[in-house]
Amino acid sequence: MINFSTLHHYAMSLPEASEEPHFEKKSYRVKKKIFATVGTEADFFVVKLTPIQQSVFCSWDESACHPIPNKWGLQGWTQVYFGKVDEDFLKDIVKTSYSNVAPKKLVDLISD
57-112 residue pLDDT tens: 999 888 899 999 899 999 999 999 999 999 999 999 999 999 999 999 999 999 76
Arithmetic mean of pLDDT, 39-64: 91
Taking the model in full, what pTM does it have?
Answer: 0.94
Q: Please determine, for residue 29, whether its predicted confidence score (pLDDT) is greater than 70.
A: yes
In the chain, the percentage of residues whose pLDDT exceeds 90 is: 83
Q: What is the pLDDT of residue 104?
A: 95
Give the whole-angstrom CA distance, residue 109 versus residue 112. 10
pLDDT of residue 60: 86
Q: Which CATH architecture has domain 4-107?
A: Alpha-Beta Complex (3.90)
Average pLDDT, the chain: 93
Residue 12, burial from CB neighbour count under 10 angstroms (0-12, 13-18, 19+): exposed
Q: State which H helix or E strand residue 8 sits in.
A: helix 4-13
User: By the 8 A CB rule, do 78 and 46 touch?
Assistant: yes
pLDDT of residue 112: 61
**Please, what sign has the CA dihedral across residues 57, 4, 71, 69?**
positive
